[in-house]
């Protein structure tokens, strides 16, 4: 009898150990923060593109507009090669670097020119991985190199050209450009200027390819025009046949904020949630935050957009050098500065990126967690940071700043590594971002970090305020 009792006690103890072990692996028994660190990992940022690059005897003044995807243990880092200046004018090519990942190291190949056209600036690279046919498609647009955006808007003829190239061998070779201009004619109201994303597009679970972006619509009511008789609004294009044909999806339309100020939505990023598609858009007023809209029909239409007040964007120039050099609070608003130290920008906000992945904690309000990146600042473009949402983009964490100096555009990618400590595939994030010391466009840098490290960084004590 005593022997049986001892065996029962030992068996119960073993069961408890098994339950505790499972709990440690999958986050059971943790507090509301959910998934807890197993092996926090973070790499140093490395420069992939920089100013004054010479590629195949072509000199590039500046590299801008990063885009990043991951497929078959390889990263594909895209950028614009701007030949004449860092501004949005002059000839530009689309550049690519391919990187083979080996655990937490990436062996990068040389910079390659994959799209070039004399007399044009090729802009806003949007790569999408089509896992169904093992393809990478890159959508980009072409503008006359000597015409600014504002000159194009004033032109009566539609000057934007939309093109796509495809690779079926992991970026070694690319198809000839496919003309997608017909898709722009499908946008209603008529687009007088178009620009996709920039940053990666997505393939939904249904197989549909989504290219988020924005267009400038012709308007009749001059009271709502932004410039030259038109206003910008975010939208999506979609394809259900692996990028062979494209259609115009939903757009965010014209809206006003509670103060009656027009909401001009602009560059956008998209992420698929459990049962919805979310578009996350830049706004152009210096005091407005990011704008979110949701679709339950795979992007064919969107519901009423709402502000995400915890996703604030840069909107001011600062003239206070001491403030810039000691800038430690990315959530601090311009109202905390002297009136003469800031000037509102004519076009506010900044591009941002989102990436979604299956939540490691099944008790989360959403089965999909979303990571967001942008310069976490009310003022200038600096403090590149990431945040996370565990409830379908309804609320967001505090920021984890990964580059505390000047920074601007970014793009995120998701990948997994085998974690031998816990015996499961571990979620990880890679970011490609514009950053430098004094200037945002000094270089485009690449960095990787585990989900555990990001959650750790978000939770670290800091001087950040939510005010």
> How much of the chain exceeds pLDDT 90, in percent?
66
Question: 405 and 335, same structural domain?
Answer: yes
Instruction: Tell me if 384 sits within 8 A of 407, measured CB to CB.
Output: yes
Q: What is the pLDDT of residue 130?
A: 98
Residues 12 and 108 in one domain: no
Residue carrying the six token digits 């029909």: 297
Q: For residue 271, give the nearest of 394, 392, 432 by alpha carbon.
A: 392
CA-based radius of gyration for the chain: 23
Residues 15 and 78 reside in one and the same domain? no
Tell me: do 83 and 14 sit in the same domain.
Answer: no
Mean of the per-residue pLDDT values of the chain: 86
Domain of residue 240, CATH code: 2.120.10.10
pLDDT tens digit string along 378-427? 888 999 999 999 999 999 999 999 999 999 999 999 999 987 777 788 99
Q: How many CB atoms lie within 10 A of CB 116?
A: 16
Distant-in-sequence, close-in-space partners of 219: CB < 8 Å, separation ≥ 6: 189, 225, 229, 230, 231, 254
Higher pLDDT: 380 or 125? It is 125
Check whether residue 223 and residue 372 sit in a common domain.
yes
> Do the domain assignments include residue 36?
no
SS (H, E, C) the chain: CHHHHHHHHHHHHHHHHHHHHHHHHHCCCCCCCCCCCCCCCECCCEEEEECCEEECCEEECEEEEEEEEEECCEEEEEEEEECCCCCCCCCEEEEEEEEEEECCEEEECCCEEEECCCCEEEEEEEEEEECCCCEEEEEEEEEECCCCHHHHHHCCCCCCEEEEEEECCCCCCCCCCEECHHHHHCCCCCEEEEEECCCCCEECCCCCEEEEEEEEEECCCHHHCCECCEEEEEEEEEECCCCCCCEEEEECCCEECCCCCEECEEEEEEEECCCCEEEEEEECCCCCCEEEEEECCCCCCCCCCEEECCCCCCCEEECCHHHHHCCCCCCCCHHHCCHHHEEECCCCCCCCEEEEEECCCCCCCCCEEEEEEEECCCCCCEEEEEEEECCCCCCCCCCEEEEEEEEEEEEEEEEEEEECCCCEEEEEEEEEEEECCCCCCCEEEEEEEEHHHHHHHHHCCCCCCCC
pLDDT tier, 257 (very low <50, low <70, confident <90, very high otherwise): confident
Shared-domain flag, residues 26 and 174: no
Residue 225 confidence (pLDDT) above 80: no
Question: So what's the pLDDT on residue 18?
Answer: 33
Here the tokens at position 372 are 């967001």
Q: How far apart (Å, rounded) are the C-alpha atoms in residues 64 and 85?
A: 10
Residue 97 falls inside a structural domain: yes
Residues 5 and 96 in one domain: no
Has residue 35 been placed in a domain? no
Based on the structure, what is the number of domains in the chain?
A: 2
Quote the pTM value. Answer: 0.89
| Same domain membership, residue 378 and residue 304 | yes
Query: Which single residue is written with the structure tokens 């083979």?
Result: 100
304 and 333 inside one domain:
yes
Whether the per-residue pLDDT at 109 is higher than 70: the answer is yes
Residue pair 268/281 in contact (Cβ under 8 Å)? The answer is yes
Q: Can you tell me the distance from the alpha carbon of 445 to that of 433, in angstroms, rounded to the nearest whole number? A: 5
Question: Is residue 332 situated within a structural domain?
Answer: yes
Residues 381 and 439 in one domain: yes
464 lies in a domain? no
Please check whether residue 467 lies inside any domain of the structure.
no
Task: Provide the 10 A C-beta neighbour count for residue 439.
Answer: 17
Same domain, 178 and 236: yes
> Is pLDDT at 227 greater than 90 in this prediction?
no
Residues 257 and 213 in one domain: yes
Please check whether residue 434 lies inside any domain of the structure: yes
Identify the band that residue 91 occupies on the pLDDT scale cut at 50, 70 and 90.
very high
Q: How far apart are alpha carbons 249 and 247 in whole angstroms?
A: 6
Asked whether residue 18 is assigned to any structural domain, the reply reads yes
Question: 366 is in which domain, residue-wise?
Answer: 41-459
């Amino acid at each position: 009898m005593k022997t049986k009792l001892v065996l029962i006690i030992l068996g119960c103890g073993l069961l408890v150990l098994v339950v505790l072990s499972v709990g440690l692996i999958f986050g059971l028994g943790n507090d509301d923060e959910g998934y807890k660190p197993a092996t926090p990992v973070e790499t140093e940022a490395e420069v992939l593109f920089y100013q004054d690059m010479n590629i195949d005897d072509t000199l590039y003044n500046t590299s801008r507009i990063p885009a990043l995807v991951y497929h078959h243990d390889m990263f594909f880092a895209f950028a614009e090669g701007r030949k004449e200046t860092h501004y949005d004018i002059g000839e530009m090519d689309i550049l690519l670097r391919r990187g083979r990942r080996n655990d937490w190291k990436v062996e990068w190949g040389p910079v390659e020119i994959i799209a070039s056209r004399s007399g044009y600036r090729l802009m806003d690279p949007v790569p999408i991985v089509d896992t169904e046919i093992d393809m990478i498609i890159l959508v980009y647009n072409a503008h006359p190199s000597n015409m600014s955006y504002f000159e194009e808007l004033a032109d009566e003829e539609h000057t934007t050209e939309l093109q796509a190239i495809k690779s079926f061998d992991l970026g070694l070779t690319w198809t000839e450009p496919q003309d997608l201009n017909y898709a722009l004619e499908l946008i209603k109201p008529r687009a007088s200027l178009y620009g996709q994303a920039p940053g990666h597009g997505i393939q939904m679970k249904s197989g549909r390819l989504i290219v988020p972006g924005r267009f400038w619509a012709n308007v009749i009511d001059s009271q709502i025009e932004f410039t030259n008789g038109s206003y910008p609004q975010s939208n999506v294009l979609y394809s259900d046949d692996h990028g062979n044909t494209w259609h115009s999806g939903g757009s965010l339309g014209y809206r006003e904020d509670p103060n009656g100020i027009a909401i001009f939505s602009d560059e956008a990023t998209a992420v698929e949630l459990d049962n919805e598609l979310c578009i996350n858009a830049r706004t152009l007023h210096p005091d407005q935050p990011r704008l979110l809209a949701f679709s339950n029909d795979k992007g064919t239409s969107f519901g009423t957009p709402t502000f995400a007040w915890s996703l604030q964007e840069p909107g001011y120039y600062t003239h206070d050098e001491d403030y810039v050099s000691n800038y430690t609070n990315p959530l601090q608003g311009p109202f905390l500065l002297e009136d003469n130290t800031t000037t509102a920008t004519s076009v506010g906000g900044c591009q941002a990126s989102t990436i979604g992945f299956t939540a490691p904690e099944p008790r989360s309000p959403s089965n999909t967690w979303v990571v967001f990146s942008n310069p976490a600042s009310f003022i200038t473009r600096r403090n590149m940071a990431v945040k996370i949402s565990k409830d379908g983009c309804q609320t967001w964490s505090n920021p984890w700043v990964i580059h505390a100096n000047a920074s601007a555009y970014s793009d995120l990618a998701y990948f997994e590594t085998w974690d031998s400590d816990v015996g499961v595939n571990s979620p990880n994030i890679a970011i490609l971002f514009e950053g430098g010391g004094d200037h945002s466009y000094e270089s485009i840098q690449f960095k990787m970090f585990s989900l555990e490290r990001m959650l750790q960084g978000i939770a670290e004590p800091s001087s950040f305020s939510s005010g």
